[in-house]
Homo-oligomer: A and B are copies of this chain.
Amino acid sequence: MKAAVIQGPGNIRVEHVPDPRIHEPHDAVVAVTHAAICGSDLWAYQGTAPRKPGQRMGHEFIGVVEEIGREVTTVRPGDRVIAPFVWSDGTCAFCAEGLHTSCERGGFWGVPGTDGGQGEAVRVPFADGTLIKVPAGADDTLDRALLTLCDVMGTGHHAAVAAGVRHGDTVVVVGDGAVGLCGVLAARRLGAERVVLLGRHPQRTALARCFGATETVPERGEEAIARLRDLIPGRGAPAVIEAVGTWESLHTAISVARPGAAVGFVGAPHGVGGKVDVRQLFDKNVSLRGGVAPVRAYIPQLLPDVLDGRLDPSAVFDLSIRLADTPIGYAAMQERHAIKALIRV
């Protein structure tokens, strides 16, 4: 089959790789119909996250089950399925608590020896604990929205949950990437009345408004903090979503949080040491919560809303390409010509 691999920084290729097969009785093989490129894939592309030459790429995919191991009971060949960005056994203590990202036997797509999502097919370990079946009869036009459940929509939701968004809240979202945009949707879905998005890319902030942001702020750093202090009375926002992961964005998020508030952080820490000044947290009793999102736990909650059209994050994909053109998708995202690329397989 064909799949995207990385041969070095800036060097994504679509190559012939071995067809996936059932290795373990709990495996399934999924024929990928749609995959996505994530902002975090760009760190490998930029060379800031190490990868071995030839390593597979991609951790977001939906598809159709092709084959199952003899122990698999919840999906069968022909089922449309959604794959979270981490596989999980579904049975350990962490899975039972809904923290599938800490599964005792879980792992990330594309680590050496496994398939990545950007390819024609994927061997899925622990298919019962990992895959979520799309109900038969769901409209094909929902594929783009369903694909966001693999990562960005679940991650935005995790941020909103971690930030403790409540009905009527004012929420600040730091970051206008796909996750920040999904954070806007998630905050509104949880009842936020006012959502202020920090972002400076006109196309993205326009989409944020479509998603329910009531205001957008283009400033950064101390200027953004000052602007938000003017915009939000009462010493800050009771819930803040951090969807970037740099020191500056975390600092901004903590600075605009109201005393007693929570910052839901889902921007994977990268650059500038990934450190945060805890003095502000301490003085204001601001909580820092979140992390790598256990989207497997959230998909069953979010899927019904996607299926009936109440939740539609599909517009985060502003570029659609064929698998063979995956390198073009990376380049477009790297150059910020695209928010997020969808790959039709």
Contact = CB atoms under 8 A, between A and B. Distances in A.
Given A93-B234, A259-B94, A269 B282 contact: yes
Interface of A: 93-94, 97, 99, 101-102, 162, 234-235, 250, 259-260, 265, 268-269, 273-279, 281-292, 294
Of A162, A282, A290, A292, most buried by chain B (CB within 10 Å of CB) is A282
Given A94-B259, A285-B290, 15 more contacts: A99-B259, A101-B285, A102-B260, A269-B278, A269-B282, A274-B278, A274-B279, A275-B275, A275-B277, A275-B278, A276-B278, A285-B291, A287-B290, A288-B288, A289-B289
Contacts of A292: 282-283, 285
Nearest to A104: B235
Contact of A286 (B259, B286, B291): B291
Given A102-B259, A260-B102, A282 B277 contact: no
A97 B283 contact: no
A256 to B, nearest CB: 15
Q: What 10 A-B pairs have minimum CB-CB distances, sorted nearest first?
A: A102-B259, A285-B291, A287-B289, A282-B291, A275-B275, A288-B288, A99-B260, A269-B279, A274-B279, A269-B278
B284 A102 contact: yes
A97 B260 contact: yes
